[in-house]
Amino acid sequence: MPGTLDLDFFRWDVVAPFVAKGLGYSVWLTIVATLGGICFGTVLALVRLLGKPTLERPVAIYVNIMRSVPLVMVLLWFFLIIPFVTGRPVGAEMSAVVTFVAFEAAYFSEIVRAGIQAIARGQFNAGFALGMTYGQNMRFVVLPQAFRNMLPVFLTQVVILFQDTSLVYAIGAYDLLKGFETAGKNVGRPVEAYLLAAVVYFLVCMALSTAVRLVQKRVQIIR
């Protein structure tokens, strides 16, 4: 009956055919954006720490712009402007991947930069005293310690990233939220669909947040 909740809709077997595809894409996008963002962000952070203004300034401008503009706006820019400029359409899913990696790299770069700067100067000097180059010092001495200390912050950013994957709904990508919306439309229960979507997002993010706390405790024990 319209206006009342249908408890049968909350059975997973009713919504699973519609939601499974969207959940898979949301998880995949989170993993790809995290790995790509960390790799690209680490490069950006290292460039900013080189002490060369000609390289540092463009990177700083890029990072500041990305951190000052809403993700959904960047997503729409890429999805709408790139096809207009190139004359070639870009799929919603591919637009989301490129945008998320480019956007998250700005945030991860600041995390990495702060983590490197938190390492005691003596660690840098010890590496140089052993005859290491700047690259070797970063690879074998500084970055392993920095990444260990930054792991809880990385995981916290992953939680935020998973929540942000729902924004791809704006360009029509088939994510978790889109899957629930499709399920709701097919069975005529949109209210129940959005309620169940909220529950699933809550459970996933709560599980990730619990993992963050456990990792944080582990890192503190190692220290």
Say which CATH number the domain at 105 has: 1.10.3720.10
Residues of the domain holding 132: 7-222
pTM of the model: 0.85
Q: Does 144 score more than 90 pLDDT? A: no
Sign of CA pseudo-dihedral 188, 25, 69, 197: positive
Q: Report if residue 98 sits inside a domain.
A: yes
Q: How many domains does the chain have?
A: 1
Q: Is the pLDDT of residue 148 over 70?
A: yes
Inform me whether the pLDDT recorded for 100 exceeds 70. yes
Residue 30 is assigned to a structural domain of this protein: yes
In this prediction, residue 7 carries a pLDDT of: 57
In this prediction, residue 5 has a pLDDT band, given cuts at 50, 70 and 90, of: low
pLDDT range class, residue 15, cuts 50, 70, 90: confident
Q: In a 10 Å sphere around its CB, with 0-12 CB exposed, 13-18 middle and 19+ buried, how is residue 99 labelled?
A: buried
Q: How far is the C-alpha of 117 from the C-alpha of 139, rounded, in Å?
A: 15
Residue appearing with tokens 């989170």: 30
Cβ atoms of 97 and 29 closer than 8 Å: yes
Q: Which DSSP category does 119 fall into?
A: S
Sign of CA dihedral 178, 184, 186, 188: negative
Note whether residue 65 is domain-resident: yes
Residue with tokens 């939680």: 159
Q: In whole angstroms, give the CA distance from residue 9 to residue 30.
A: 27
Per-residue b/e over 158-194, b at no fewer than 16 CB within 10 Å?
bbebbebbbbbbebebbbbbbbbbbbbeebebeebbe
- Residue 1 placed within a domain: no
Q: What is the pLDDT of residues 201-221, one digit of tens each?
A: 999 899 888 888 887 777 765
Domain contains 154: yes
pLDDT of 218 reads 77
| 2 in any annotated domain | no
Judge whether 195 lies within some domain: yes
For the chain, the average pLDDT equals 85
Q: Is the pLDDT of residue 1 over 60?
A: no
Is residue 119 one of the residues assigned to a domain?
A: yes
Cα–Cα distance, 32 to 16 (Å, whole number): 24
- CA dihedral sign, ordered 89, 95, 99, 101: negative
